[in-house]
Each structure stands twice: as structure tokens, then as C-alpha cells.
Chain A
Amino acid sequence: MSVLVDHFDVFAGGFWLTFQLCILAATGALLVGTLVAVMRISPVPPLRWIGTAYVTVFRNSPLTIVMFFAAFGLPALGSNADFLRIPGLTSIFSRLGIDLPYFRFAVIALALYTAAFVCEAIRSGINAVPPGQAEAARAIGLTFGQNLRYVVLPQAWKSAVVPLGSVIIAMIKNSALAGFFGVIGDLSNSAQNLTSALGEPIIPVFIGVSIGFLVMTVPLGILLDRIERRRAVAAR
């Protein structure tokens, strides 16, 4: 197990990069997922069709395939995802700004894939809001967008937060795939390096990687349990 001590800096660096990937992908997934959820309930049929098509494609494709399309398809289309080199953001998440695009590709793939699940979690939250709420909002003259923004979504969030948390936990675990699609120095890529390039024993290395993921997922799970318990008491 000495590898955990000897190469602590590698694990710490891998954890930090995976953590950044997760923060960025979760933010993107929540934004895109909310947008798609709004499209799926919009009164405009073409928007509904696009939303439904999106969820059908991304919820039903393996993440490996989505990662593959991002890492090989985007360059084939001539894109290095440079639109993600957002000034300001690149100073916090430095990997976002470098020339090698694979970190950006991983963010895109993980965000787009997770957004489909975020969409469905939010939609189930929207369905949990009593129809009378939206009806009363329409009756005082709120438009569809205002109705969502001021009345429906704030209430939908409450019942969607626990399923959303589960979606994000799954996303954190899924982020382990990034290291196999060109991202250098995240948790899973570090493990690969330590075992194949430096010949470190496999089991201790993967225990280290597991700890890295658990540090992110377990606190999130505990937080969700807390929220759920408080909700259960409040509902009584």
C-alpha cells in the first residue's frame, strides 16, 4: 500500500482534475437538462419534439459511445470545442484553456449525456407540482416563461432535488471514463499510469482511486439523505 503514500501527489492531482471535470459537467448538465425539460413541456410542438428526441438519444446511448463521438467526432467536424475556453473560467479551471482539447471533449460528453437524466428528474419534479398552481399563474396573466420561472420551477426543484442528486452521483462515477478518452491526469488516467508505466501493484492503486471517488460521492449522498429526511418531516 506504500504507493498511496509515495505517489500521494499523483492521487491528489488526479482527484483535483476529476473534481474539476465533475463541477463543470454537472453545471453544464443542469443547465442543458433544465432547458430540455422546459422544451419537453413547452406549448410549441417542434420544441417538444426536439426535447424528446434529445432525451431518447442521450438516455439510451452508452456513455462510452457519447465519449467516443466527442473525442473523435468533434475533431472530425473540425471543432476543438474552443467555445469552452471561457475567459475567467479558464483561470479557475486551467485545463479548459489549454490547446489539447480532450478535457473539453470530456466535459461536453459527460454534460450532454447527464443532461438527459437531469431533464427527466426535473420533469418528474414539474409533474409533482399540483396543476392548480400553474393554472392560477395563468389566470393572473403570467406568460408560459414567467409561469415556469416564478411558480412552477421553484416548486419543482424541491421534489426534484433528491433524484437530481442521484443523477449527479452517477455522473461523478461515470467521469471515470474520461481518462480513457484522452484526458491526462484525472483519477482513472493516473491509475493507468501508475500501474502500466510505473509498474505499481494494481489493487492498492485502484483502492486509492476508489477513495478519490468516494470522497466526492459519499458526502453528496449524506447531504441528500439529510435533505430527504427534512423534507419528510416538513411534509407531515
Chain B
Amino acid sequence: MTERTEAVEVAGGTTTGEPLIRLDGVNKWFGPLHVLQDVNLSVARGEVVVVIGPSGSGKSTLCRAINRLEPINSGTITFDDRPLPAEGKALARLRSEVGMVFQSFNLFAHKTILENVTLGPVKVRKEKPAAARDRAMKLLERVGIANQAEKYPAQLSGGQQQRAAIARALAMQPKAMLFDEPTSALDPEMVGEVLDVMTSLARDGMTMVVVTHEMGFARHAANRVIFMADGQLVEDAAPDEFFANPRSERAKDFLSKILTH
């Protein structure tokens, strides 16, 4: 496995100007709770955006809104110049172009790791099973768990499961990847192996939105850091700038709490 510090060169990598993901005036309520307040955000192709903030600030909701796992109440979200379609076939097609990695892995419990990875390509993309299988094995090799292909999710460690989940998302050859706290449910010694995979993805130019508490990853792999609090996008800055000179009180407060120990 590569060392985590190797990711330093990633920041400022290849990004093109046109946004792949764009949120305009997005609002979302959970009952009386205003979880996303007039959020504007655009993510360019190849850009790695890390979203941080205290819990309950709306980071996960923001991430889940991008592939409409969480429908929004007002505003628009466009992906690859197309507004998110309503529930149905068109939305399913769009979701197949956006990879998603969850905090709790959510691997299909009744399928082997290999079947988890090939299900989407075979059923959604109608790829030939043999071809999907070959590609899946390459992906599992890439994330370092090819030898676990025939096992069931419950037989793997958390870190291995999360790497399998990343492989499952990559198998759809997505245009962007969303990570919703991918390391929060992991034992500390397994965080590194997942971050390594994510770092290598970032280095390869994948467009990524990553909700995380891993400040090291934010520092080394992100092009931009978004700080959210109380449903609002409070800061949007390059990582060096954000960690060295946070402008808002909320961000200063947050950073002082997490970086002191």
C-alpha cells in the first residue's frame, strides 16, 4: 500500500473550468428543520471537494442530494449540464453515472463481493457477465481485495468492505464519486487503507465530493474545502488557506475543537 503522505501533489491537479455538478439556491427541510439553506456550489470536472463541518450541519444531506437520494424542496441541481430528473428511469440512468460510497458500506449482504461489483454493470449497463467479471476483478485488484472476491460482505473487515464498496461504485465507470463519511464507521487502523484508495482515485483525476472528518485527507487530496454549519455553506477555500486562516468564527471554533488533540 502507498503511504498517505504521497498524496501531496494531488491538490491543484488537472481540473477543467466547466462545472460537472452545480447546485443553485438549494433548500431542503426535514419537517421544521431547515437542513440546506440556499446552498450554491459548483464542482468542476476532475475537482476534489471535501465537505467538513460539525454533525447536523447538512453535509451528508448535501452529498445525498446530488444523486437525489435526498430530494430537495427548492432550487436546482444539474449534473453534466442536465437538471436532475424526477424519480424514474432517467434518474436511475443518472445515478448510474454518479458513484456513491456510504458510511455503512451497504454492500449487498446476500451477494459475494464479486457479485456486488458486477450487479450494476450486468443489470444496468447490460454488459456481458464475463466481461463485467474481468473488469470487476481488475477493480478488486486495484483496491487490493481480489483474493476476497468469492467471500460474502460479512466475512470481510470494515476496511475491506469499504474498498469493495468503492470498487462497486467504480464498476459503473462514473463521471463523479460521492463519499458520505466513508471512514467514520471504520476501526482506526483501517482508515488508512480506504483513504489510500480514495487518494489514488483523486490522483487519477476523478471528480469527487467527499464528506469526511479526515482532516489529513482534506489537506492532502482536496482541491477545495467546503465548511458547512447549520445548513449553510460557510466557507469555500483551498485547503492550505482554510486550515491556516479560517475566516469565519464557526470554522475557527470547529478547527480548534478537532485539531487540538
Contact A43 B104 (CB under 8 A): no
Q: Tell which of B91-99, B197-205, B210-218, B222-230 binds the partner.
A: B91-99
Are A140's CB and B168's CB within 8 A? Answer: yes
Please determine whether A132 and B106 come into contact, CB atoms closer than 8 angstroms: yes
B260, chain A: closest CB distance, angstroms: 33
Determine which of A133, A146, A154, A155 lies in contact with B106 in the assembled complex, contact meaning CB atoms within 8 Å.
Answer: A133
B124's partner among A130, A133, A141 (CB-CB below 8 A) is A141
A5 shortest CB reach to chain B, Å = 50
Most interface-central of A133, A135, A140, A155 (chain B CB within 10 A): A140
Closest chain A residue, CB of each to CB of B107 = A136
Chain A's interface size range is: 10 to 19
B249 in the interface, Cβ–Cβ < 8 Å?
no
Q: Nearest chain A CB to B18's CB is how many angstroms away?
A: 24
B92 touches A142 (CB 8 A): yes
In the complex, the chain A residue whose C-beta lies closest to that of B172 is A140
| A37-54 near B? 1/0 per residue, CB < 8 Å | 000000100000000000
Contacts of A135 in B (CB 8 A): 69, 102, 106
Most buried by B among A142, A155, A158: A142
CB distance from A140 to the nearest CB of B (A): 4
User: Which of A141, A143, A155 touches B110 (beta carbons < 8 Å)?
Assistant: A155
B144 within 8 A of A: no
Chain B residues within an 8 Å CB radius of A229: none
- Whether B120 lies near A142 (C-beta < 8 A) is yes
Establish whether residues B67 and A139, one from each chain, have CB atoms under 8 Å apart when the complex forms: yes
For the A-B complex, the count of residue pairs with Cβ-Cβ distances under 8 Å equals 66
Complex contact B124–A132 (CB within 8 A): no
Q: Which of A43, A133, A136, A139 contacts B87 (CB 8 A)?
A: A43
**Nearest chain A CB to B62's CB is how many angstroms away?**
15
Q: What DSSP secondary structure best describes chain A's contact surface?
A: helix
Interface size, chain B (Cβ < 8 Å): 28
Name the one of B87, B92, B107 contacting A141, with C-beta atoms under 8 angstroms. Answer: B92
**Binary A-proximity of B50-69 (CB < 8 A = 1, otherwise 0):** 00000000000000000101
**Is B140 on the interface with A (CB-CB < 8 A)?**
no
Tell me if A151 and B108 are in contact (CB < 8 A): yes
Task: Tell whether B258 is near chain A: CB-to-CB under 8 Å.
Answer: no
Minimum CB–CB distance for A94 against chain B, Å: 39
Contact yes or no, A139 B69, CB < 8 A:
yes
Q: A142-B92, A155-B110 are in contact. Are A150 and B104 (CB under 8 A)?
A: no
Is B1 interfacial (CB-CB < 8 Å)?
A: no
Contacts of A155 in B (CB 8 A): 109-110
Q: For the complex, give the distance between the alpha carbons of A139 and B104 in Å.
A: 14
B103-160 at interface with A (beta carbon < 8 Å): 104, 106-110, 119-120, 123-124
A32, CB-defined interface residue at 8 Å? no
Report if B77 contacts A (CB, 8 A).
no
Q: Are A141 and B69 in contact, CB atoms less than 8 angstroms apart?
A: no
CA distance A140 to B94 in the complex (A): 9
Bound form: Cα–Cα A147–B94 in Å: 16
Asked if residues A141 and B109 are in contact (CB atoms below 8 Å), the reply is no
- The chain B residues found within 8 Å of chain A, CB to CB, are 67, 69, 87, 89, 92-100, 102, 104, 106-110, 119-120, 123-124, 165, 168-169, 172
| Chain A residues in the interface with B (C-beta under 8 A) | 43, 130, 132-133, 135-143, 146, 150-151, 154-155, 158
- Sample (27) of A-B pairs whose CB atoms are under 8 Å apart: A43-B87, A132-B104, A132-B106, A133-B108, A135-B69, A135-B102, A135-B106, A136-B107, A136-B108, A138-B69, A139-B67, A139-B100, A139-B169, A140-B95, A140-B99, A140-B172, A141-B93, A141-B94, A141-B124, A141-B172, A142-B120, A142-B123, A142-B124, A143-B92, A146-B123, A151-B119, A158-B110
A-B interface, 4 closest residue pairs, ranked by CB to CB distance from nearest: A141-B96, A136-B106, A140-B120, A132-B106
